[in-house]
Amino acid sequence: MNIKHFPRGLKQPEKGFRFSVDALLLSTFIRPGEGWKILDLGCGCGIIGLGIILANPDLNLKVTGVDCDPQMISCAEENAKNLGVKDRYQTLLLDIKQINRSSVEAESFDLVLMNPPYRPHGQGRISPYKEKNIARFETSATLNTFVQAARFAVKNKKMVGIIYLAERLAEVMTELKANRLTPKKMRPVYGRMNKPAKLFLLQAVKNGGPGLCLEPPLILYKDGPANILTDQAREFCQFL
């Protein structure tokens, strides 16, 4: 697999969930530090964890991808191998509800990344494939499940990164506060200018002090019927 063409060519389950732009945005939102240990909750085919490794080739990052789907774990492992980063990427087949009873040690990661299912169970179009529903809807794991897992795994004063639906921002803020994760940086993501924000990127710090930096909006596409990326979007995420 040619790294320059990432994410094209990544292996994904035929009938499983397919990654989208949001995962790529999260992979370049936070600049990690040298030697950081990173946990990707609900890693899927490895898109976010592999993206952050490739976006920071000068840093000796170690990423662990966690997922409850054996097919996704298999794809993530194969993708890491094909991209030549197998030594920096490992996987863990695990239901994140059980993270505190697994091999994951409490407060052992410098950064935890997550792109949780966007919709409550029963809201939206249901797929005939169970694997897709698990990734799209809060069937087996809720927003609260992901945030609690992040709180458990991240070190004190270290970071958590999330991308989520703008319409559920208030819920995210409530969950973060309840789990001592202080929002420090947020960037709204718009499909097009003069349209409501669809998503937001947020960085929180465990037991951090007050003070939130609201960054300029990120506009993905130029006005018009075609999905033509803006220069701003290309600069923000090299993988788009």
pLDDT in tens, 23-65: 999 999 999 999 999 999 999 999 999 999 999 999 999 999 9
Paired tokens of 75: 């794809």
Contact 193, 180 (CB under 8 A): no
* Domains of the chain, earliest start first: 3-236 (3.40.50.150)
Over range 189-197, report the average pLDDT. Answer: 96
**Res. 126 pLDDT band, cuts 50 70 90:** very low
pLDDT at 122: 52
Over range 91-114, report the average pLDDT. Answer: 97
- Summarised one tens digit per residue, pLDDT across range 141-157 is 899 999 999 999 999 99
Q: To the nearest whole number, what is the mean pLDDT of the chain?
A: 92
Q: Angle of helix 47-55 relative to helix 70-82, nearest 10 degrees?
A: 20
Would you say residue 132 has pLDDT above 70? no
**Res. 134 pLDDT band, cuts 50 70 90:** very low
Q: Hey, how many other C-beta atoms are within 10 angstroms of the C-beta on 139?
A: 16
pLDDT at 97: 95
**Considering the entire predicted model, what is its pTM?**
0.91
Closest by CA position to 99, among listed 86, 114, 78, 88: 114
Q: What DSSP string describes 134-187? A: HHHEESS--HHHHHHHHHHHEEEEEEEEEEEEGGGHHHHHHHHHHTTEEEEEEE
Would you say residue 136 has pLDDT above 80? no
What distance in Å separates the CA atoms of residue 111 and residue 96, rounded to the nearest whole number?
16
